[in-house]
Amino acid sequence: MNVLLISPGYPADMPEFTRGLSEAGATVIGVGDQHSGALPELVRRHLAAYIHVPSLWDEQAVAERLRQELSGRSLDRIECLWEPGIMLAAQLREIFSVPGMRPDQARCFRDKEAMKKRLDEAGIRTPRHFAADSAAACWEAAEQVGFPIIIKPIAGAGSADTYRINNRDELRTALGQLRHVPLVSVEEFVEGEEYTFDTITQDGKILYYNVAWYRPRPLIARSNEWISPQVIALRDVTDEALADGLCMGEAVIAAMDFETGFTHMEWYRKADGEVVFGEIGARPPGAHQVDQMKFACDFDVFRAWGSAVADKDFDFDVSRLYNVATIYKRAQGHGRIRHIEGLDALQEAFGQHVVWNTLLGVGNRRRDWRQTLVSDGFIMLRHPELADTLAMADRVGSELQIYAS
């Protein structure tokens, strides 16, 4: 099977997906705007060919370059796991008559308003919502939904440019900060815990799924620099408290007619037990949450995805062995990392449970926490018992401090 993979070297986990697809038996042809010399070695090792284009955002130019470089070689699939490239992949499938998601379907994954309308029609509970393309439309939608509300970009990813608005004064302020966003969704704010439902599917059948718990909700974490956000991949996905959310997730996959690949859905569970849809992407989650899945089950989730795409049998043993917590850290201060406090004591206390440490070292310039959830690095740890996992995660959150100046 010849698979065209868009942007095989970026974002950070794409090299592993490239490897997984190749090891599943596919002939992987990459296309991207990175020069070949800038590709990670893991990517270069698993590509049969790489086609460099000046820009991935000129669909016709990309298509023409592919025609020239492929020299008549047929494509069996075209894949993209990066949110901005989802539409490009759909357009190229149509141009080259390759099976998979077409532009109209892909648009429902990218356009949050179209997404929710489709699920409304399927009887799935979504927040009350309106699209707005002006300040006046936002005011009108806010009056219809009622405060508190959420405003987010129609075609956004993650929680960037997303605001909780409690009153008219906050709406006035938020509108000033959203002038660069042409179209937004104004939604009911749903109070509750937030979870994910992440799937690998093949021909519409869910082969593997993961449930992660956000502590706290991403919108809160994005609004407060002092917070060390946590994402917990849950071992016990049979917990009765999750059952309705999982059923809803399966219904969303069916309603969106998603066939083969990775999806990432977010949903809420209210205090009264009601579950409410958040949003779904036709891609995996970011911020190394796929690595969480790997460490939770001790299996090669990247190759599992590759097998689904390459139309192979899913012969992976998915034994849910651990809860896995990722704690993202943000330095205090600005400039370069000068001191890390508490790491040695925490390592001594439960280092055997730590599976990954990506903290920036002393001397590195700290990152902009508003632009990346990974921030100044993370600690990833695991334990079979959820209570122990949470206790360790909370200690990392409170006792590990990074200082910059």
Q: What is the pLDDT of residues 148-163, one digit of tens each?
A: 999 988 876 656 788 9
Average pLDDT over residues 16-31: 98
Q: Could you say which of 278, 300, 321 is where a domain stops? A: 321
Shared-domain flag, residues 234 and 307: yes
Average pLDDT over residues 305-325: 96
Please determine, for residue 335, whether its predicted confidence score (pLDDT) is greater than 90.
yes
Shared-domain flag, residues 219 and 273: yes
Q: What is the pLDDT of residues 81-123, one digit of tens each?
A: 999 999 999 999 999 999 999 999 999 999 888 999 999 999 9
Q: What is the CATH number of the domain that holds 48?
A: 3.40.50.20
Q: What is the pLDDT of residues 26-53, one digit of tens each?
A: 999 999 999 999 999 999 999 999 999 9
Share of the chain above pLDDT 90, in %: 91
**pLDDT tier, 222 (very low <50, low <70, confident <90, very high otherwise):** confident
Q: What is the pLDDT of residues 351-388, one digit of tens each?
A: 999 999 999 999 999 999 988 999 999 999 999 999 99
* pLDDT (0 to 100) of residue 328: 98
* pLDDT (0 to 100) of residue 158: 59
Q: What is the CATH number of the domain that holds 209?
A: 3.30.470.20
* pLDDT (0 to 100) of residue 162: 87
What is the extent of the structural domain holding 242? Answer: 191-321
- Residue 316's identity, in one-letter code, is F
- In a domain, residue 116? The reply is no
Shared-domain flag, residues 308 and 337: no
- In a domain, residue 183? The reply is yes
Q: Could you say which of 292, 321, 350 is where a domain stops? A: 321
- In a domain, residue 290? The reply is yes
Mean pLDDT score across all residues of the chain: 95
Shared-domain flag, residues 301 and 274: yes
Shared-domain flag, residues 137 and 216: no
Under 8 Å between Cβ of 33 and 55: yes
**pLDDT tier, 147 (very low <50, low <70, confident <90, very high otherwise):** very high
- In a domain, residue 262? The reply is yes
Q: What is the CATH number of the domain that holds 163?
A: 3.30.1490.20
Torsion of CA 90, 197, 153, 286, to 10 degrees: -80
Share of the chain above pLDDT 70, in %: 99
pTM: 0.92
Shared-domain flag, residues 232 and 305: yes
Shared-domain flag, residues 199 and 283: yes
Q: Could you say which of 44, 77, 108 is where a domain stops? A: 108
- In a domain, residue 120? The reply is no
Shared-domain flag, residues 150 and 90: no
* pLDDT (0 to 100) of residue 156: 67
| Span of 42-51, 179-188, 314-323, 331-340 with lowest mean pLDDT | 179-188
Shared-domain flag, residues 390 and 341: yes
- Residue 308's identity, in one-letter code, is A
* pLDDT (0 to 100) of residue 161: 81
- In a domain, residue 265? The reply is yes
Shared-domain flag, residues 212 and 313: yes
- In a domain, residue 294? The reply is yes
Please determine, for residue 70, whether its predicted confidence score (pLDDT) is greater than 90.
yes
Q: What is the pLDDT of residues 227-280, one digit of tens each?
A: 999 999 999 999 999 999 999 999 999 999 999 999 999 999 999 999 999 999
- The count of domains in the chain is 4
Shared-domain flag, residues 295 and 353: no
- In a domain, residue 16? The reply is yes
**What are the Cα distances from residue 288, in Å, to 58, 80, 291, 325?**
29, 17, 5, 11
Shared-domain flag, residues 195 and 309: yes
